[in-house]
Amino acid sequence: MDIYKILTKLPHRYPFLLVDRVLAIEKGKTIKALKNVTINEPFFPGHFPHRPVMPGVLMLEALAQAAALLAFDAIDSGATDDMVYYFAGMEGVRFKRPVEPGDQLILNVELLRMKAGIFKFKTSATVDGALAVEAELTCAMRKIA
């Protein structure tokens, strides 16, 4: 799935769209996506000027966006103006290595369960095969009144 298809599925836009491409998707099961991390990212001048590092919360957000793509694909939908996809929880978050400009962050997400608009995922992100972050994420789809 290229960036143009991603833009039809996710409501996020620059500078907050953190998935550049979907490499593989198995409907209702797994997704593998990537985020190209460049020196031009808007957060690098402040995090940190002397040694730029991608903030951990943004690594988790990238994983959540990949999870949203998997969830939308599982229910044959996409983001709409009357629905929002929220973080509902994070468990077992572990950061294992810094992510720096020039890295390709590979986002791996497995759907563990879904029920009544609540989705639970096992996620990890790697750089050159080395684990950068792992977490279990819970997300919820809710209609906007």
Catalytic residues: 47
Residue 15, preceding peptide bond in cis (omega within 30° of 0): yes
In angstroms, the Cα distances linking 48 to 14, 18, 51, 72, 137 are 20, 19, 5, 34, 27
41 vs 73: CA distance, rounded Å: 28
Do residues 78 and 3 touch, judged by C-beta distance below 8 A?
A: no
DSSP string of 27-44? TTTEEEEEEE--TT-TTG
In angstroms, the Cα distances linking 50 to 44, 53, 58, 60, 120 are 10, 10, 19, 23, 37
